[in-house]
Amino acid sequence: MDLPSSRSSLASPNHKANWLERLTAFLLREPEDREELVELLHSAFERHLLDADALAMIEGVLQVGDLQVRDVMIPRAQMDVIEVEAAPADFIPYVIESGHSRFPVYEGSKDNIIGILLAKDLLRYYARQDFNLRQMLRPAVFIPESKRLNVLLKEFRANRNHLAVVVDEYGGVAGLVTIEDVVEQIVGDIEDEYDFDETGDNILPDRQGRWRVKAMTPIADLNRALDTDFSDADIDTVGGLVVTEFGRVPKRGDAISFGGLHFQVLRADSRRVHILLIEREAAPASDAA
């Protein structure tokens, strides 16, 4: 007597299989290529078999296999590095202000990276007087610009490295890449203790007269803070304004100037911009009378 009732309950429209079971059933038709797989995933999203975050992460996984290190690395010009002969009193304030946990250390020029300094090792400087930066260095890992991100992620996990120095075809330093840069291509931007707090201000000035600005900041707020007059008739946010000027989603380190301001992308992933560094452009020198 109970069996029909149980079957009826299972057949009830209120009964929903978990999302993985429903997605598996939906994908039983094997896609012929990558494009068809993506179409199926988007169709699954439209049918509410996947939520937006899950779809974005799956697309990120697919994309990681296509991207190379050069696509996500921090360019050489944007690297925060330390000269091995520098006095601790000179570079420790720089370390504190940047907030990074690892720093490439060079001798002579940036093309001669001799090791990696962990910020936590600087505690030894305060514990004893015979601090020697050269002796504190960890081995640096060097990788080519062409290395695939999925391969790099495996190597990071296997070797427990968190940072690698990127070299070009001539052996010169082209930039650096961290495990966070790779993971963010899958899960989106990862915030740490040095990122903006979600409830904090969208526009924060620094000591050099620049502003760190969240891309989600309304253009009207930027206009009030910086005394600018950007239109928000068609675009609502500062990130949208910058993307429109680039004509694409810019990468970290990309920069552009317009409206009397210089915009540099500090954090971004393959889908959107997160944080910008903004400063006023220098006024042109007036002609001598």
Instruction: Report the pLDDT averaged over residues 8-18.
Output: 47
Confidence of residue 105 (pLDDT cuts 50, 70, 90): very high
Whole-Å CA distances, 177 to 100, 126, 145, 212, 229: 13, 29, 10, 22, 37
For the chain, the domains span: 18-64, 70-187, 203-280
CATH number of 203-280: 3.30.465.10
pLDDT tens digits along 211-249: 989 888 999 999 999 999 999 888 889 999 999 999 888
> Do the domains at 70-187 and 203-280 have one common CATH topology?
no
Whole-model pTM above 0.75?
no
> What is the C-alpha separation between 163 and 140, in angstroms, rounded?
8
Instruction: Please report which helix (H) or strand (E) contains residue 107, including its range.
Output: strand 102-107
3 state SS of 122: helix
Residue 163 has pLDDT above 90, yes or no: yes
pLDDT of residue 7: 42
> What is the C-alpha separation between 218 and 241, in angstroms, rounded?
10
CATH architecture of 70-187: Roll (3.10)
Confidence of residue 5 (pLDDT cuts 50, 70, 90): very low
pLDDT tens digits along 245-282: 998 888 878 899 999 999 998 877 666 788 899 999 87
pLDDT of residue 27: 55
User: For a pLDDT cut of 90, what percent of the chain falls above it?
Assistant: 28
CB atoms within 10 A of CB 7: 10
pLDDT tens digits along 54-103: 777 777 777 777 788 888 888 888 788 999 999 888 888 888 877 788 99
